[in-house]
Structure 1
Amino acid sequence: MATIIDKIAWIYIVEGRILCARSKGNDTYYIPGGKREPGETDIDTLVREIEEELSVRIKPETAAPLGTFEAGAHGKPEGVVVKMACYFADFEGELRPASEIEELAWLTYKDRDRISPVSRLIFEQLREMKRLA
């Protein structure tokens, strides 16, 4: 039986590039977001994690689901799976890395080799939707 890591992610795309983040000491990029805490809804988690990581406030009323994606968890033993519910949403504030985030990057479909396995699935979906360059 697989161990599931329950995560929520924010999909933010500008001119065909998606905002991704890299944690300190890591060489792989992730779509920003994080793990749900007990009792949190998807949107509660989205708002909290994005504020902690990127210093901006998600506008909860604008959140719209992209979908939920599952893949093997990057850097974890076999059998550990990330289940990531993804949302588009507007925000207020100025994007800047905070907490464990060392760098923000605007990636395209061609950057698939720089991202986590679950992020690759999301990139594929966004490419099919003609949202990602």
Structure 2
Amino acid sequence: MIDKIAWLHAVDGRVLSTRSRGKDVYYLPGGKREPGESDTETLVREIREELDVEITPASIAPAGVFEAEAHGHAAGTLVRMTCYTAEYTGTPAASSEIEEIAWLTYADRDRVSAVDKLIFDHLHETGRLG
């Protein structure tokens, strides 16, 4: 099981997604925790590294946990994505290993990883993703 923390940032029916260098699908921004890190510490660090913005820790709120087969890994490898919403300061920009950021809609569902497809379905069903 791959355990990841992700920032779920949906605005006006679109969700902020990232594509890492060498990858062919988009993911919600975030990543794996370092030893001893809390979910909050992981989220703040990963988003700073990937998007060059500062998450406001007091605004972090749970947004769901989703599991699916991990993209690009051996068959049977699962990823658990624990998602959070949060306010931030700065302007998101591709940084570190991120090659591209994009605001995706439900029509882009075929361009995201398996776990993100579940998240897109959830957002679409709850009216947050157009």
Same fold at TM > 0.5: yes
TM-score (norm 1): 0.96
Aligned partners of 1:25, 1:41: CA distance in 2, in Å? 28
**For residue 38 of structure 2, what is the aligned residue in structure 1?**
41
Partner amino acid, structure 2, of 1:58: I
Aligned partners of 1:31, 1:81: CA distance in 2, in Å? 16
Q: Percent identity?
A: 59
State the aligned residue count: 130
Aligned partners of 1:94, 1:111: CA distance in 2, in Å? 23
**For residue 114 of structure 1, what is the aligned residue in structure 2?**
111
**For residue 7 of structure 2, what is the aligned residue in structure 1?**
10
Partner amino acid, structure 2, of 1:11: L
TM-score (norm 2): 0.98
Between structures 1 and 2, the one with greater strand share: 1
Aligned-pair CA distance for 1:122 = 0.5
**1:66-109: per-residue Cα shift (whole Å, max 9, x none)?**
11110000010012110010001000011101000000000001
Aligned runs of 1:49-128 on 2, under 5 Å? 49-128=46-125
CA-based RMSD: 0.6
Aligned-pair CA distance for 1:38 = 1.2
Aligned partners of 1:104, 1:42: CA distance in 2, in Å? 22
Aligned partners of 1:94, 1:130: CA distance in 2, in Å? 25
Aligned partners of 1:37, 1:71: CA distance in 2, in Å? 22
Structure 2 residue runs without a partner (length 5+): none
